[in-house]
Amino acid sequence: MLERAFNFSAGPAAIPTDVLRKAQQELLNWNNQGCSVMEFGHRTPEFQELIDKAELELRQLLKIPEHYKVLFMHGSASHQFVMVPMNFLGADDTANYLEQAHWSKKAIKEAQRFGNIHIQKAFEQTKNGLSIVPESQWQLDEAAKYLHFTSNETIVGVQFQQEPEQFRGRQVCDMCSDILSRSIDIEKYALIYAGAQKNIGPSGMTLVIVREDLFEKMQTERVPALFQYPLMAKHGSLYNTPPSFGIYLASLVFDWLKQQGGVEAMEKLNQQKASILYDYIDASDFYHSPVAKDSRSIMNVAFTLAKPELDQSFLQQAKMRGLIALKGHRDFGGMRASLYNAMPIDGVKTLVQFMDDFVREKG
Ligand SMILES: Cc1ncc(COP(=O)(O)O)c(C=O)c1O
């Protein structure tokens, strides 16, 4: 039976052990209330204090300016694929969408129900591997309401190394798999969304950061109340019963992040973790990264084995060494090591040691 493993899952993903311990300690009696936070009213001063603190810490961690609202929304990032065009687009309006891999295509499909979607292909196979098409080659519709993109395509591990420059203040970003992993310039965005289950907490909650002045222009007459950003913001994410356990756990993760030195310290560590693994893969004849160096993700490292018939054995032996969830996405195959904030550097070193032992024995 495994104790606590190094968990490389792409999501739901590892949560810092210290955070889980704290939640465990408080499970029966949160904040001296004699019950858990899950059993506690959301319209109480104590819960208000919790949600206010979570928001404040997030604002500090990401340096979110005052004129942006932070929403703790129900549901998943896929709900945001719908909510974004629903709120931003009138029937005759256009939005730019970058077409990358899996997730951006899903976002496009939903957006097409609500308006005209100008698609710019931004993902290509080059001689050096999978890559993001350089921004200088994009042709966007200048009159569009916003530019939607996915900062890190989780499935294949392709990530923007720099935030796009165009559409400053009007970018909408699916930041599910790299939020809080590196510093960002919030002022570039109209809206950022991120499902919680990678760098924030448990699934079932999605974080939204949105420019408040855009509320006036939103097309909300026909949008169901629960899906209206302005309404959710007006009620401080408490229009109805919120995902209270998710908010609680997120607040513990934000505390933990601050103790680690914040997003800047995390970014350095994440760079270091990813370099250890990519450097090893690049030096090996047996392992291969399908992604071009200029587009590699520091969060999701995809790699293949020279002998795919050994994939199963690789996964089984890894598990015996306490390294779990390394199987690549079903559409892509191979392996994928997700190195979100909660993955300690020791986990990456142990993985590299295992990969090396495996190749010596079987390669
Ligand atoms: C980049 C990205 N966007 C969107 C999603 C969809 O998230 P959900 O399953 O919570 O809807 C995922 C899920 O892993 C993702 O990685």
Q: Please determine whether the domains at 19-259 and 262-362 fall in the same fold group of CATH.
A: no
Mean pLDDT of 244-259: 98
**98 CA to centre of ligand 1 in angstroms:** 16
- For the chain, which residues make up each domain, given as ranges? 19-259, 262-362
> Which of 83, 154, 180 is the best mutation target for the ligand 1 pocket, counting ligand atoms within 8 Å of the beta carbon and taking the most?
154
One CATH from 3.90.1150.10, 2.60.40.10, 3.40.50.1820, 3.30.420.130 for 262-362:
3.90.1150.10
Give catalytic residue positions.
Answer: 103, 174, 198
Mean pLDDT of 143-151: 98
Q: Encode 237-256: b = buried (16+ Cβ within 10 Å), e = exposed.
A: bbeeebbbbbbbbbbbbbbb
CA distance 158 to 131: 7
270-295 pLDDT, tens per residue? 999 999 999 999 999 999 999 999 99
How many other CB atoms are found less than 10 A from the CB of residue 262?
Answer: 18
Q: What is the dihedral of CA 348, 352, 353, 355, to 10 degrees?
A: 140
163-212 pLDDT, tens per residue? 999 999 999 999 999 999 999 999 999 999 999 999 999 999 999 999 99
Quick one: pLDDT at residue 2?
56
> Which of 84, 103, 338 is the best mutation target for the ligand 1 pocket, counting ligand atoms within 8 Å of the beta carbon and taking the most?
103
3-state secondary structure of 207: strand
**154 CA to centre of ligand 1 in angstroms:** 8
The closest alpha carbon to 189, from 337, 86, 88, belongs to 88
**195 CA to centre of ligand 1 in angstroms:** 7
CA distance 248 to 47: 9
One CATH from 3.40.50.720, 3.40.190.10, 3.40.640.10, 3.40.50.920 for 19-259:
3.40.640.10
Ligand 1: residues within 6 Å at CB?
Answer: 11, 76-78, 103, 150, 154, 174, 176-177, 195
Confidence of residue 136 (pLDDT cuts 50, 70, 90): very high
**pLDDT mean across residues, the chain:** 97
Of ligand 1's atoms, which has the minimum distance to the CA of residue 175? 1
**281 CA to centre of ligand 1 in angstroms:** 26
More confident residue, 1 or 339: 339
